[in-house]
Each structure stands twice: as structure tokens, then as C-alpha cells.
Structure 1
Amino acid sequence: MTHCDSALPFTDSGHRFDDQRRWAASLGLRFARRDGVTRLTQARHQGPLRVQRPFYPEGRAGACHVYVLHPPGGLVSGDALTVSAHIERGAHALLTTPAANKLYKADSQGVAWAQHTELSVEDGGVLEWLPQETIAFDGSRGEQRTHIALFGAARCLGWEIMALGRPASALPFASGRIEQHFRLTLDGRPLWLERQPLDPLHPRFIGRWGQGGATVQATLWAVGFKDAADAVGALRAALPDTPRWAVTVRQGVLLLRYLGHCRNEAWALCEQAWGLLRPRLIECEAHTPRIWLT
């Protein structure tokens, strides 16, 4: 054809601009312990997902700190991001992000985005998954899936912090739908399975039996304690005494939940909990990633 046909769903570059558009990006990381040091042995990427070089602020024998970078800074309609990380036996990795992740309003055709995270930790490995918060704009539509596969005596601590809308700018999360799935297994056996739809038009969103109108939520999980009851006791004794959070242990998984209206409060709670739990889980004091202070 020598003329432009506006009915065609593709441009010359191959991108779609109809309701089937999809722009994929992926990042695959692998960590291994070599000569007493956890090294980033593999970093494969497609599209706008990268990592900075590994950092060792705790010394070469300590955790390997890696920052996951998504230069666009957020997800729009049609984006499909997949991040995977595999921790080999004896390795210790701490993964975080340099800034908040943003989930933007869906386009006029309501095309959804997708964000999948696949984490696996071999027997004797340690993973800390500590991304900065996610901000969902009004009208955002998409799906988040997090799958954590642990083996043997693997240890893992992570969190997910979600802020819905931008209430300070009088822009609440009043439309759209985000579906979250969490799956955590040990040697293939499910320990924690969860599905949570975030739909402001559903009664659950404002009901006291559900979201209760909260605009910020957080979940922190940790697996691998020698004494989980001691960890729970330490959290209950040290964290602020408010009804906005609770902690429990089920099937060996410690879960701390927050429901409220303040991103800073949720972040401070999770960071303080991490500081209390890390020595009990991996016998190392918490070492704040430098990127959190910039």
C-alpha cells in the first residue's frame, strides 16, 4: 500500500493503537554467592526496565543492594511489566526502587495495564523486596500479580504499599479497577494466597467490613523466623498503638497490615517494622538503602 489506511491498528513500527495495544518490558535478575560475596550474575532486560550497578553498603559479605529502574516512572494503558529475581543458595539480595511507581488513568478505550513480579529463593538464600510505594491515579485499570516461591530454609521479607488517588489534590480514586493477586509457596506448597479487587464502585471499598474508605494500604510479609511469636511480640510492643495496623502469623507467614489515609504513616510503619524484624530474621541490623534518603 502506498497510502495511509486509518483503519489499520498498527503503525509502521509495529505498535498497536487500538484496544489490543500492549507494550511489554521485562527484567530478569539472578543472584549467586561467589567467594563469599553475593553477586548479580544475570540481568536480562527488554524494554524500559534496568538496574543500577550493585551496591554493598553493608560490606562485601553483606546484602547486595540493587535498584530496579523503570525510566517512564509509571504504567499507562497497554503496559505489561514483568520483573523476576532468583536468589541462589547462600546469596542475599535487597531490591528496591528509586521512586514511587505510578498507575495512570486508563485511556478512552479503558485498556488495562499489567504488572507481574516473580520472586524465587533457594534453600539458604535471603531476599528483601522493598519497593517504594505505588500511587494509583483515579481511573487506573490493571492487574498486579506477585508470586514468591521459597525453597527449604529460604528467608524472605517484603512489602507492598499502595496509595489510592491523590486526596491532597482533591483527586480521589473514584473510578477504575485494580486487581491484586499474591501467591507465596514453600517447596511448592501454598502458604499465602490472596486476591483483592480495588473497585471504588463496589460496596467492599467503603464498607467497614472491607476497605472502609481507606486511601492507603500496606502489607508486609516475612517468612523464615526461628521464633515468629517473638517477632510479633516485638512489633506489638514497639510500633505506634493505633487501630490502623495489625499483625498475625499464619502457616509460618508473618503478615502486617495497614489501612489508613497517610502514605508517610504507612511507610514509617513498614520501615520501623523492617528494622525490628531484620535482626530476628537474618541476624543483621537494618541498613537503609541510600536511595531512600535522596
Structure 2
Amino acid sequence: MGELALRIGVRSGRSVASHQFHQGALRVLRPHYLDDSGQVCYVVVNPGGAYLGADLFLLDVEVEAGASLLLTTQSATKIYRTPGSFAEQRMTLRLGEGARLELMPDQLIAYREASYRQNTHITVRPTSSLVMAEVITPGWSPDGASFRYEELRLRNEIRVESKDGGIDLLALDNLLVRPPAGDVTGLGFMEGFSHLGSLVVVDARVDQALADELHALTAGHEAHTGISLTRTLAGTTGLVLRSLSDSTEKLNGLLGACTALLRERWHGQEPLNLRKY
């Protein structure tokens, strides 16, 4: 069990924490800055090392107007056996006008007999910029056989708050992964692939041309990829990319290439190098 709250504002041209709270098995490391852009990077840590049955983790993150946050994790999120009840993470994200959030966790690993639910509620403003990437990986046994997790449910609810105070639904992104009994990689399930990558982007600069460019970029990677756009609401649009592969490394490479394009074009930043390994 764990709870974490983090609010990021701007002070003297740099993004800093204006509020921070944690209890239980969640906390953040000291902030650091990867470049001179003023974007602050926080690393979420789970000292317990894994999620277990009936565990509940609550995260509340607010990026105030004009602030920029890169949020990542210290290591992979591991879901072990969950007899009796699923493990759950509930995250609330709020972005102010001109705020920017990059959510770049390490992979989610589901082990044998694991059941997990992840619910993320996101509220952005028309000038906010959100980029979220995630990789789902099945756990492996010592003899190399696939562990058979039970199911993963990931739900992103994205809303846009307009200048007049109205809040409207931009997208509801539901993902259910339930391997068939006996094989997590068989034909008919995820097209025979074992790993899944997701990229969600919400920004006023998202359009069909960007979707086409990202799709062309993914063609150079060993993965099966599809991209869809949301409707445009209050001048902002969402993009959802799904990619299937047979390794975490391949998906990290693909998602890294996509986020590198956005970082350089929109913010003049180098590709991410979190130096965790």
C-alpha cells in the first residue's frame, strides 16, 4: 500500500515541487535536471519492490501553469501473484495552462497468476502537453517458459478543461490483456506477440501529419504498430499508439524514437537518457 502526492510549479525559471507528500510504500527521490530547459525530473520509488494481492497505490500529480515535469520510476513495476484480489494503481494527473508532463515509467511486468488494474484520470488545459509511454512485459520462469498472468486492465480517462471552466471528455482509452489458458504468446492473442507498448500524446500540435510521421518512424522497428487520433476538443487533440513485439528492448527503442522526435521538435531537447542501468 502506498500514497504519493506531488505538485510542480515554477520558481526563478525552473520547475520545482511546491507540495510533496508520501506515505506507505511510495516516495520520490531528490529532484534533478537533465538539461538546462528547467524541466524537473522526479523518480518514483517503491521500497517494497512489487505489487501484491489487494495492494492499492494512489498517486496524485499536478503540474501548474508553465511548469514542466518528467516523471519516471526507479525500476520495473512487478506484479506478483494476487490470490483473492487484484493489485491496483489509481493515478490522478492535472495539467495547467502551458504545463508539460512526460510520464516515462519502466516496464510493467506481470508474473504468474497476477491480476492488476491501473486507472488514470487526466485533466489537461487546451495549451497543456502530455506524453505517456508504457511497456507491458510477461514475467519469465527460470526455465524460460512464459508465466501465465491472469489479466491486466489499464484505463486512461482524459478530459480537457476549457477557459470557461467546462470539462469535457477527450478520450477513454481502455486496454484489457487476458492471456488464454496455457500460452501467453499463442496465435490469436496479441497477434502472436508477448509484449505491448503504448504511447499517449495530448497536445494542440497533434494532427494527422504527426500521426503519419510517427507511423513511418515505427516502420524501422521490429514491431507491429497502429496509431489512432481522438477528436479535437478546445483546440487540443490526442494520439494513441499501440505496438506489439517480442521484447522490452525493442519496444523501448520504438517508444524512445517517438518521444525523441517530440522532444526535439517541440522543446529542442535531446533524447531521454535516464542513466538508470
**Aligned-residue offset at 1:209:** 6.9
Among 188, 193, 201, the alignment partner of 1:214 is: 193
- 3-state SS of the aligned residue for 1:290? coil
> CA 1:227/1:217 → structure 2, altered by over 3 Å: closer, same or farther?
closer
In structure 2, the gaps of 5 or more residues are 162-166, 232-236
> CA 1:36/1:179 → structure 2, altered by over 3 Å: closer, same or farther?
same
1:165 — aligned with what? 139
Which is higher, the Rg of structure 1 or of structure 2? 1
1:254 — aligned with what? 239
1:223 — aligned with what? 202
Are the aligned partners of 1:217 and 1:257 in contact in 2 as well (CA < 8 Å)?
yes
Q: Distance in 1 between matches of 2:159 and 2:142?
A: 38
- 3-state SS of the aligned residue for 2:210? helix
2:92 — aligned with what? 118
Alignment of 1:1-294 (within 5 A): 24-59=1-36, 61-107=37-83, 110-166=84-140, 169-187=143-161, 188-201=167-180, 211-226=190-205, 228-239=207-218, 240=220, 244-251=224-231, 252-280=237-265, 282-292=266-276, 294=277
> CA 1:264/1:26 → structure 2, altered by over 3 Å: closer, same or farther?
same
Q: Distance in 1 between matches of 2:73 and 2:35?
A: 18
Higher-strand-fraction structure: 2
Letter aligned with residue 274 of structure 1: T
Please list the CA deviations of residues 7-58 of structure 1 after superposition, one character each: whole Å capped at 9, or x if unmatched. xxxxxxxxxxxxxxxxx31000000012211111111011021111111121
Q: Distance in 2 between matches of 1:237 and 1:186?
A: 29
> CA 1:172/1:196 → structure 2, altered by over 3 Å: closer, same or farther?
same
Q: Distance in 2 between matches of 1:291 and 1:69?
A: 16
Are the aligned partners of 1:231 and 1:277 in contact in 2 as well (CA < 8 Å)?
no
**Aligned-residue offset at 1:116:** 1.3
In structure 1, the gaps of 5 or more residues are 1-23
> CA 1:201/1:210 → structure 2, altered by over 3 Å: closer, same or farther?
closer
Q: Work out the number of aligned pairs and report it.
A: 265
Of residues 208-217 and 132-141 in structure 1, the stretch that sits farther from structure 2 once superposed is: 208-217
TM-score of the two chains, using structure 1 as the length reference? 0.82
Where do 4+ consecutive residues of structure 1 move more than 4 Å?
205-210
TM-score of the two chains, using structure 2 as the length reference? 0.87
